């Protein structure tokens, strides 16, 4: 065998390429035992760091797929047709008329003039089709996003009065948030949004609705002098105190709110009563905002047409510059970026969540898949490029998206038709916008956000599903009303993570017992129900009877199932659940096993085992002088662990079906627990079996820690355990074509870690004309098992064998279960 250089040894150590974890003599002994059982020796190859690094190497196919995923329109644009165009044109133009008044109203929430809302919605409509994966989403201004932008503008104005304009602050905030969103999208980090639960978002949206209504009430009532950026409860108190100062604006603001709600309810009832024209009523309902703004704009024009310019009966929007007069490069000031940076996390969270939640909901309804990372990229591009046009932070709009869907949209290209309406508004309708009453826009905003609040029926559902999460919701709303929205979103997310951490840290596994179950199938004596009409128009029904039975050739034989020993956790407490064998314990991790819950699991495991077994020796043999002061004496006949009615500890079986990764802390905890139980059971050996552990790295880590293998003493390789293997028939008799493909793959990945799979394909040959029995797990790790059935089978065999060798008699109702095992 050629010698390995020092450099090669260092590389093997660094990248863990050496698969030999046990002495060669023991490996050889375990292989020989497998051969004796007519099983092909198979040693599982260790995963290595080199293999992991190699898997990260980009391929040409993967690179092309990634590039195509950045521009989804490439896949559907070649199939675009006139039928799709007609649907997109109708839907896009309809949404355009809805978006114009909304965009202008929401811009006021951001402390900007109305045209900035039009710029923002134009950019989202014009660019989304290039990057988006949803046909139903509309990117533009939203009430919540505009409110947050307005809050940032106020903060900067307080800290640096007169240094930066509102436009510069909004553009700087949008530019930074867009760059972050582009980064998340390009690196496909959209899955991070799944870390934020639903309840904090629900609480935030409800809180934002209360906050927005508070900011718009003074405008709708014509009350001036109220600081709307204070805590919401103060705003409401100040509005109530100043109700006597209401002006003529209140007639427009209050009547617009009432009109919008009436129109909504009337059209909703017409959809139910006249379902044949349901689409028409839905379209008219969607256009109620546009109708209301046009109506009050016309009334305002009638009132002000003969008044001198500058004199108003009520507040108007006023002059709006036509076209894209505010387009240009945003101010790149490090100081400005530093001022807005603290507000970025909350804004980015809301922008992403609001957008993806809307896109996914429509995707579920209409049966297409939304890619969160790509949607994040679409948002980032819209926010970044929008700053050069004059826009500010934008995201998906639920109201506009609902209108787009009801209008029959076919592809994301509908946004271009909406953009045309926005361009028309910016160049041709600015003179009309002059007469829009501010109170009417405030009424539009109040109507829109009132529908976003979480209804009481949903809160009652929260209570039935998870009372603690309802408490988090209440805390979030309270914090928003009495402190601020930003503090609310951070507080609710922190509380949700805290609840998750507590549940994970305090999760407790279950000790299982084995029961035999049968499948009971109903056998119908008459296979159908006959329905016949009589002369009296009465139906005669012939019903069938049924019976059940267990025995029969068509029924499968009894099988084993594993249920909790504790009756409080058992699905049916009346079913007796016995232990699999005296001294054999099955422990199931109900959740993942990691450093957070390691102590909880292992303390429970250790205390239960010690309380239900006895020491192998009546005394532990440790002199008093060598004992810790806190360690009790193991006096024969006095210690619970010396109760002769209890069994000796034989094996611990861990059901690892919920475990995918193991960290150093949890593995060290298993080692410490094993050492403790070894001292407790000495001189006997405690076997540790692992069932259902699928992750190769986790098995490798446990093997390094000494788990997964029996203790081999000297030349006696089977004195302590009974070799048994789970096997499957290999693809023996592979065709020449299969072998040729295997060799071709082997040459293609020469030097790679996939070579092992190819070698196995080449080795699939018949032995004496029969199929080869291949072990599912490596024969050098016989204590890793496919499932609990195999693990319990081996553990019980070994425990019974050792009891027989020691002459121990066990009164137990343990039943033999040797079906499906090869030993």
> 642 burial class (0-12, 13-18, 19+ CB within 10 angstroms)?
middle
Tell me if 687 sits within 8 A of 722, measured CB to CB: no
Question: How do residues 773-783 score in pLDDT, each as one tens digit?
Answer: 788 888 888 89
Structure confidence by residue, pLDDT tens digits, 4-14: 555 555 545 54
pLDDT digits (tens, 9 = 90+) for 520-549: 877 655 444 444 444 444 444 444 444 445
pLDDT per position as a tens digit, 484-510:
888 999 999 999 999 999 999 988 899
501-to-173, 470, 526, 662 alpha-carbon distances in Å? 33, 17, 55, 17
Please give the distance of CA 316 from its chain centroid, rounded to a whole number: 46
Instruction: Give 583-628 pLDDT, tens digit per residue.
Output: 999 999 998 899 999 999 999 999 999 999 998 887 656 676 666 6
Residue 151, burial from CB neighbour count under 10 angstroms (0-12, 13-18, 19+): buried
Q: Lowest mean pLDDT of 8-17, 405-414, 576-585, name the range.
A: 8-17
d(CA 694, CA 311): 77
25-76 pLDDT per residue, tens: 777 777 777 777 767 778 877 788 787 788 788 888 989 999 999 999 999 9
**Tokens at 653, concatenated:** 């079986």
Place of tokens 């503008």: 153
Average pLDDT, rounded, for the chain: 84
The CA distance from 475 to 479, in Å, is 6
Q: How far apart are CA 460 and CA 498, in angstroms?
A: 23
Contact criterion met (CB below 8 Å) for 410 and 136: no
Q: Are the CB atoms for 585 and 653 separated by under 8 Å? A: yes
Instruction: Give the span between the Cα atoms of 524 and 545, in whole angstroms.
Output: 6
Residues 728/764, Cβ–Cβ less than 8 Å: no
pTM over 0.75: yes
Quick check: 481 pLDDT over 50? Answer: yes
Give the helix/strand (H/E) hosting 524: strand 521-524
Place of tokens 């058992």: 570
Q: Is 279 helix (H, G, I), strand (E, B) or coil?
A: helix
Whether 211 has a pLDDT exceeding 60, the answer reads: yes
- Between CA 492 and CA 469 the distance in angstroms is 10
Which two structure tokens, joined as six digits, stand for 524?
């119908």
Neighbours of 310 (CB within 10 A): 6
Mean pLDDT of 730-734: 52
191 burial type by CB count under 10 A (0-12 exposed, 13-18 middle, 19+ buried): exposed
C-beta separation of 72 from 132 below 8 A: yes
Structure tokens at 587: 């422990």
Q: Using only C-alpha atoms, what is the Rg of the chain?
A: 36
> Residues 305-333: what's their mean pLDDT?
89
Task: Determine the pLDDT at residue 91.
Answer: 93
379, 163 Cβ separation under 8 angstroms: no
Confidence at 518, pLDDT banded by 50, 70, 90: confident
- Average pLDDT of span 268-293: 89
Q: What's residue 376's pLDDT?
A: 96
3-state DSSP helix/strand/coil % of the chain, to nearest 5: 55, 10, 35
The tokens of 317 are what?
Answer: 């929007």
Give mean pLDDT, residues 274-296.
Answer: 90
| Structural domains in the chain plus CATH codes | 73-503 (no CATH), 509-519+557-621+638-719+779-823 (3.30.750.24)
Tracing tokens 């109900």 back to the chain, one arrives at 590
* pLDDT (0 to 100) of residue 730: 67
Q: What is the pLDDT of residues 150-190, one digit of tens each?
A: 999 999 999 999 899 999 999 999 999 999 999 999 999 98
DSSP string, 115-126: HHHHHHHHHHHH
pLDDT over 70 at 18, yes or no: no
Indicate the pLDDT class of residue 570, thresholds 50, 70 and 90: confident
Q: Grade residue 641 by pLDDT with cuts at 50, 70 and 90.
A: low
**Model confidence over 126-145: pLDDT tens digits?**
999 999 999 999 999 999 99
Please, which pLDDT band fits residue 715 given cuts at 50, 70 and 90? Answer: low
Measured CA to CA, the distance from residue 307 to residue 365 in angstroms comes to 52
User: Rounded to a whole number, what is the largest CA-CA distance in the chain?
Assistant: 114
Assign 310 a pLDDT band (cuts: 50, 70, 90). Answer: confident
Helices (H), 133-248: 143-159, 166-186, 198-221, 232-241
Q: Is 317 exposed, middle or buried (0-12, 13-18, 19+ CB in 10 A)?
A: buried
Cα distance between the two ends of the chain: 35
Mind listing the pLDDT tens digit for each residue in 341-358? 999 998 999 899 889 988
pLDDT of res. 771: 58
Residues 515 and 577 sit within 8 Å (Cβ to Cβ):
yes
The two tokens of residue 635 are 């006096």
Q: Say yes or no to pLDDT of 671 above 50.
A: yes
Q: What is the pLDDT of residue 508?
A: 85
Distance CA 35, CA 21 (A): 21
Query: What average pLDDT score do residues 662-685 get?
Result: 93
Q: Provide the pLDDT for residue 718.
A: 56
Burial (Cβ within 10 Å: 0-12, 13-18, ≥19) of residue 434:
middle
* 367-406: burial string, b at 16+ Cβ within 10 Å, e else: eeebbbbbbbbbbbbbbbbbbbbbbbbbbbbbbbbbbbbb
Element spanning 532, H or E: strand 530-533
Mean pLDDT of the region 683-692 = 93
């Amino acid at each position: 065998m050629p010698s390995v250089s020092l450099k090669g040894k260092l590389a093997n150590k660094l990248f863990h390429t050496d698969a030999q974890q046990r002495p060669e003599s023991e490996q050889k002994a375990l292989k020989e035992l497998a051969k004796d059982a007519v099983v092909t020796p198979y040693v599982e190859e260790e995963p290595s760091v080199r293999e992991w690094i190699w898997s990260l190497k980009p391929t040409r196919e993967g690179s092309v797929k990634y590039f195509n995923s950045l521009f989804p329109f490439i896949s559907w644009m070649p199939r675009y047709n006139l039928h799709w165009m007609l649907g997109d044109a109708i839907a896009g133009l309809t949404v355009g008329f809805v978006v114009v008044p909304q965009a202008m109203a929401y811009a006021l929430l951001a402390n900007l003039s109305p045209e900035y809302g039009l710029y923002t919605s134009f950019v989202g409509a014009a660019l989304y089709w290039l990057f988006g994966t949803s046909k139903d989403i509309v990117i533009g201004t939203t009430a919540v996003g505009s409110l947050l932008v307005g809050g940032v503008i106020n903060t900067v104005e307080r800290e640096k009065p007169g240094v930066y304009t509102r436009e510069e602050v909004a553009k700087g905030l949008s530019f930074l948030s867009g760059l972050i969103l582009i980064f998340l999208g390009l690196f496909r980090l959209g899955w991070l949004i799944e870390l934020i639960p639903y309840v904090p978002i629900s609480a935030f949206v409800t809180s934002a609705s209360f906050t927005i209504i508070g900011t718009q009430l003074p405008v709708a009532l014509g009350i001036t002098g109220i600081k709307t950026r204070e805590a919401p409860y103060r705003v409401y108190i100040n509005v109530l105190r100043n109700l006597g100062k209401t002006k003529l604006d209140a007639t427009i603001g209050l009547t617009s709110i009432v009109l919008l709600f009436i129109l909504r309810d009337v059209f909703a009832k017409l959809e139910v009563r006249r379902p044949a024209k349901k689409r028409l009523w839905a379209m008219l309902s969607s256009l109620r905002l546009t109708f209301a703004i046009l109506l009050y704009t016309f009334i305002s024009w009638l009132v002000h047409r003969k008044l001198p310019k500058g004199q108003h009966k009520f507040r108007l929007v006023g002059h709006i510059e036509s076209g894209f007069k505010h387009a240009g490069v945003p101010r790149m000031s490090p100081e400005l970026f530093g001022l807005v940076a603290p507000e970025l996390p909350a804004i980015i969270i809301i922008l992403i969540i609001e957008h993806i939640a809307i896109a996914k909901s429509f995707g579920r309804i209409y049966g297409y898949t939304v890619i969160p990372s790509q949607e994040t990229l679409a948002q980032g591009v819209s926010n970044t490029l929008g700053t050069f046009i004059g826009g500010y932070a934008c995201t998906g709009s639920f109201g506009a998206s609902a209108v787009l869907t009801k209008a029959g949209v076919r592809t994301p290209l509908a946004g271009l038709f909406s953009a045309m309406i926005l361009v028309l508004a910016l160049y041709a309708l600015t003179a009309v916008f002059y007469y829009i009453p501010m109170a009417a826009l405030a009424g539009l905003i109040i109507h829109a956000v009132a529908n976003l609040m979480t209804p009481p029926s949903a809160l009652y559902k929260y209570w039935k599903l998870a009372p603690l999460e309802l408490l988090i919701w209440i805390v979030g709303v309270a914090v928003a009303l009495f402190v601020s929205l930003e503090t609310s979103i951070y507080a609710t997310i922190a509380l949700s993570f805290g609840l998750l951490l507590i549940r994970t840290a305090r999760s407790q596994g279950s000790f299982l017992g084995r029961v035999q179950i049968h499948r009971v199938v109903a056998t119908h004596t008459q296979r159908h129900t006959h329905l016949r009409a009589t002369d009296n128009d009465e139906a005669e029904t012939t019903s069938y009877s049924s019976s059940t039975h267990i025995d029969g050739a068509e029924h499968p034989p009894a099988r084993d199932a594993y249920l909790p020993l504790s009756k409080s956790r058992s699905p049916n407490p009346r079913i007796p659940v016995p232990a699999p064998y005296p001294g054999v314990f099955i422990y199931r991790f109900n959740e993942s096993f990691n450093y957070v819950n390691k102590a909880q699991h292992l303390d429970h495991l250790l205390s239960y085992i010690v309380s239900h077994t006895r020491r192998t020796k009546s005394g532990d043999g440790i002199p008093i002088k060598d004992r810790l002061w806190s360690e009790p004496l193991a006096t024969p006949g006095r210690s619970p662990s010396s109760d002769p009615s209890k069994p000796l500890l034989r094996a611990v079986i861990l059901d690892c079906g919920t475990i995918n990764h193991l960290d150093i802390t949890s593995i060290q905890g298993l080692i410490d627990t094993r050492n403790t139980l070894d001292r407790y059971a000495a001189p006997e050996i405690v076997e540790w079996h692992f069932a259902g552990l699928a992750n190769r790295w986790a098995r490798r880590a446990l093997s390094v820690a000494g788990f997964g293998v029996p203790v081999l003493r000297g030349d006696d390789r089977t004195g302590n355990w009974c070799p048994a293997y789970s096997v499957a028939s290999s693809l023996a008799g592979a065709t020449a074509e299969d072998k040729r493909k295997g060799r071709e793959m082997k040459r293609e990945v020469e030097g790679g870690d996939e070579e092992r799979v190819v070698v196995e394909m080449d080795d699939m040959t018949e032995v004496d004309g029969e199929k080869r029995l291949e072990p599912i797990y490596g024969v050098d790790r016989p204590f890793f098992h496919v499932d609990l059935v195999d693990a319990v089978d081996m553990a019980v065999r070994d425990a019974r064998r050792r009891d027989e060798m020691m002459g121990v008699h066990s009164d137990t109702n343990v039943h033999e279960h040797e079906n499906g095992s090869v030993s």
